[in-house]
Amino acid sequence: MFKKSETDEVKQVKSVAQTVALMYAIAGVFLLLLTLRFVGELLGVVSLPHTEDNTFFGSLVSLLHRTGPFIGDVLCALLFGGMTFFFFAQVYGLWRLKKWALYVTAASTCLLFVFVLFSVATDPDVAPFIGLVSLFSGLFLAYLYGVREHFK
């Protein structure tokens, strides 16, 4: 009987970890599309205007493009490509219940709060959505940290 409850707890931990992994996978897909945009600009396949906006990514892209259009596209492709790889590594680790993924996710969630604060300050229209996503991410992370003994 004790074995069954332990198995149920492991299943619950795995489902929560996989839910968090799916959230990061969705974000990773958006980052992959953003990366492909800059790679497409480098290859001359895509030519989209860079607009000045007050979002975090818009400000970052504008800052990187001050070095020149080609160098800016290279820097953006490398930055967003690295973030995409990082997100998909987190997805793999959380899906497989790897202990390293829990700590990497905790660190990246803390770093993403800088993005949340900047977005809330510059674009109040998205503040409620970003606030809810951050709240759920923090709650999932707190739960996973509490049951970290189930991670390998």
32 sits in which H/E element: helix 2-43
Percent of the chain topping pLDDT 70: 80
- The pLDDT tens digits for 76-114 are 788 888 888 988 999 999 899 888 988 888 887 777 777
Domain hosting residue 54, numbered range: 14-150
8 Å CB contact between 57 and 124: no
- Residue 104: count other Cβ atoms within 10 Å of its Cβ: 16
Is 53 part of any domain? yes
Q: Is 116 helix (H, G, I), strand (E, B) or coil?
A: helix
Is 3 part of any domain? no
> pLDDT at position 138, please?
76
> pLDDT at position 91, please?
92
Is 86 part of any domain? yes
Mean pLDDT of 55-75: 73
> pLDDT at position 89, please?
92
Number of domains in the chain: 1
Higher pLDDT, 85 or 128: 85
- The pLDDT tens digits for 12-53 are 888 888 888 898 899 889 888 888 888 887 888 877 666 656
Q: What is the sign, positive or negative, of the torsion defined by CA atoms of 137, 86, 111, 79?
A: negative
Is 27 part of any domain? yes
Is 9 part of any domain? no
Band of residue 1 on the pLDDT scale cut at 50, 70, 90? very low
Amino acid type, 58:
G
Is 7 part of any domain? no
Band of residue 146 on the pLDDT scale cut at 50, 70, 90? confident
